[in-house]
């Protein structure tokens, strides 16, 4: 048994997928954003359940991620969200991925790769409506569309844009982005099977106008709300929990410092326990002297700095080596949520969930 373990609750994942599916009208298709190994939850496991729950496709950040899903046997549409380099195109064509394009990519090179493979490659047009990351600007769509249409081995499957502030309380900027997206759409030939997509998790929950005909939930599949200032919330369940064990218990005497830099000094004799997880596992160093873990159902504060592979907590006299320590999740009547951990670490759930790469995972379905 590994000393530390991530448990992925596939029943909670399925529940979230159902809640999201039911929140949207039937006409709106839903894909599962499973980039970065499904935000650390296992892309293969997550996509299998998404397809069982009626999701139409997967989205990944990169061509390699799409290739891994094909190698795992998935035949559903796979949309790539980030612009690939021309070197990635042979794999993208071969694996039948839907690749994003804008007016900065070498479309003639893409056309040549597809022609050489004797295939028609699906592309979707990335539109920049204000995120300023990738995409063609709405005013440049007419010329871009004409160019794309002139290339017989590229098929325009649809278009998407991405909102920068859909998770803010104030929605004006997100709605202004959707206005610009409408302008871009007015320059495209929208047939019945043409894919139009702008909703991330926050758009799905708060901005019906962003639903179009394909929604792209990421973080809400895995339990966290997109932010704590959303107008609405969905009844989601946390999917990931993180557990370790106490490997060492000792007395820290009054006046003694603990850990690198001696940043915590005991003001009385106290017990400390050592937990064998650190920032190399993705347990952020920013939690030094801030985070808490659960042992025997009680909250135990982190004392001193998080090391690369271990950290220490203040404990009571009952704690023994071998006791379970819950870093994220429930123990007894207490719970430490990923949201609590992120608030203390000064980051968002996406980052910590994706970072916990070294800890072995188990998938359970109840
Ligand atoms: C990551 C990503 C998403 C999913 O975002 P969430 O906020 O996690 O729902 C959707 N669309 C694009 C383009 C993305 O990069």
Indicate which residues carry an active-site annotation: 35, 260
For residue 349, give the 3-state DSSP assignment: helix
The values of phi and psi at residue 318, to 5°, are -80, -20
What fold does the segment set 10-222 form as a domain?
A: TIM Barrel (3.20.20)
Under DSSP, the state recorded for 210 is G
Distance 217 CA to ligand 1 centre (A): 7
Question: At 181, is the pLDDT very low, low, confident or very high (cuts 50, 70, 90)?
Answer: very high
Q: Cα–Cα distances in Å, from 130 out to 59, 188, 215, 216, 230?
A: 21, 19, 19, 18, 21
pLDDT (average), residues 131-159: 98
Q: Please tell me the predicted confidence (pLDDT) of residue 39.
A: 98
Query: Is the pLDDT assigned to residue 366 strictly greater than 90?
Result: no
Is the C-beta atom of 84 inside 6 A of ligand 1? no
pLDDT digits (tens, 9 = 90+) for 90-130: 999 999 999 999 999 999 999 999 999 999 999 999 999 99
Alpha helices in the chain (DSSP H): 10-23, 35-40, 43-52, 63-71, 89-94, 107-117, 141-149, 172-185, 201-206, 338-345, 349-355
294, β-bridge pairs: 299, 326
Ligand 1 atom nearest to CA at 219: 8
138: confidence class by pLDDT, cuts 50, 70, 90: very high
Q: Specify whether the CB–CB gap between 122 and 157 falls below 8 A.
A: yes
Instruction: Give yes or no for residue 322 having a pLDDT over 90.
Output: yes
**How many residues belong to the chain?**
366
Mean confidence (pLDDT) of the chain: 98
What is the phi/psi pair of residue 205, to 5°? -75, -45
Domain 10-222 and domain 240-364 have a common topology = no
| pLDDT band at 40; cut points 50, 70, 90 | very high
Q: What is the mean pLDDT of residues 305-313?
A: 98
Burial class (CB in 10 A: 0-12, 13-18, 19+), 129: buried
Closest CA to 225 of 337, 336, 334, 131: 337
Cα 334 to middle of ligand 1, angstroms: 31
* Residue 1: pLDDT band with limits 50, 70, 90: confident
Token output for 353: 């969930």
Question: Which residue puts its alpha carbon closest to atom 4 of ligand 1?
Answer: 218
Domain edges within the chain: 10-222, 240-364
Cβ contact 271:252 at 8 Å: yes
CA of 33 to the centre of ligand 1 (A): 7
Does 218 contact ligand 1 (Cβ within 6 A)? Answer: yes
Give the atom of ligand 1 at the shortest distance from the alpha carbon of 220.
Answer: 9
Q: Can you give the pTM of this predicted structure?
A: 0.97
Ligand 1 pocket test, candidate residues 24, 36, 59, 352, most atoms within 8 A of CB: 59
Contact 327, 344 (CB under 8 A): no
Ligand 1 atom closest to the CA of 160, numbered from 1: 13
pLDDT at 187 (0 to 100): 98
* CB of 217 shorter than 6 A to ligand 1: yes
- φ, ψ dihedrals at 52, nearest 5°: -60, -30
**What DSSP string runs through 268-323?**
S-EEEEEES--GGGT--GGGTTT-EEEETTEEEEEES---SS-EEEEE-TT--TT-
Q: How far is the CA of 200 from the centre of ligand 1 (A)?
A: 5
Q: List, for residues 89-98, the tens digit of each pLDDT value.
A: 999 999 999 9
Q: Which atom of ligand 1 is nearest to the CA of 200?
A: 9
Q: Which fold has domain 240-364?
A: Lyase, Ornithine Decarboxylase; Chain A, domain 1 (2.40.37)
282 lines ligand 1 (CB under 6 A): no
Ligand 1 within 6 A of 200 CB? yes
HEC profile for 248-283? EEEEECCCCEECHHHCEECCCCEEEEEECCCHHHCC
């Amino acid at each position: 048994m590994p000393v530390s373990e991530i448990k992925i609750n596939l029943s909670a994942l399925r529940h979230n997928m159902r809640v999201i599916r039911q929140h949207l009208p039937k006409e709106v298709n839903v894909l599962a954003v499973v980039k970065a190994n499904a935000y650390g939850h296992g892309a293969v496991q997550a996509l299998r359940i998404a397809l069982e729950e009626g999701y139409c496709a997967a989205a990944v950040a990169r061509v390699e991620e799409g290739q891994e899903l094909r190698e795992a046997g998935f035949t559903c549409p796979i949309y790539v969200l980030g612009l690939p380099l021309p070197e990635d195109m042979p794999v993208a064509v071969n694996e039948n991925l839907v690749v994003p394009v804008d007016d900065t990519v070498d479309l003639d090179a893409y056309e040549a790769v597809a022609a050489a493979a004797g295939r028609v490659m699906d592309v979707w047009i990335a539109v920049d409506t204000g995120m300023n990351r990738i995409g063609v600007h709405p005013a440049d769509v007419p010329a871009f569309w004409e160019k794309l249409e002139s290339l017989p081995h590229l098929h325009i499957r649809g278009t998407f844009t991405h909102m920068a502030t859909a998770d803010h309380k104030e929605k004006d900027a997100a709605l202004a982005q959707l206005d610009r997206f409408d302008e871009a759409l007015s320059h495209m030939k929208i047939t019945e099977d043409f894919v139009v997509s702008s909703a991330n998790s926050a758009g799905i929950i708060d901005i019906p106008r962003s639903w179009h005909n394909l929604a792209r939930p990421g973080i809400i599949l895995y339990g966290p709300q997109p932010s704590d200032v959303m107008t609405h919330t969905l009844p989601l369940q946390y999917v990931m929990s993180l557990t370790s064990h106490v490997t060492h218990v000792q007395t820290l005497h009054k006046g003694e410092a603990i850990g690198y830099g001696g940043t915590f000094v005991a003001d009385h004799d106290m017990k400390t326990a050592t937990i064998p997880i650190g920032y190399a596992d993705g347990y952020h160093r920013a939690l030094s002297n801030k985070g808490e873990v659960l042992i025997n159902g009680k909250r135990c504060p982190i004392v001193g700095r998080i090391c690369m592979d271990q950290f220490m907590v203040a404990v009571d006299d009952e704690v023994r080596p071998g006791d379970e320590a819950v870093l994220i999740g429930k123990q007894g009547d207490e719970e430490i949520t990923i949201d609590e951990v992120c608030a203390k670490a000064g980051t968002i759930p996406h980052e910590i969930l994706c970072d916990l790469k070294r800890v072995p995972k188990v998938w359970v379905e109840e």
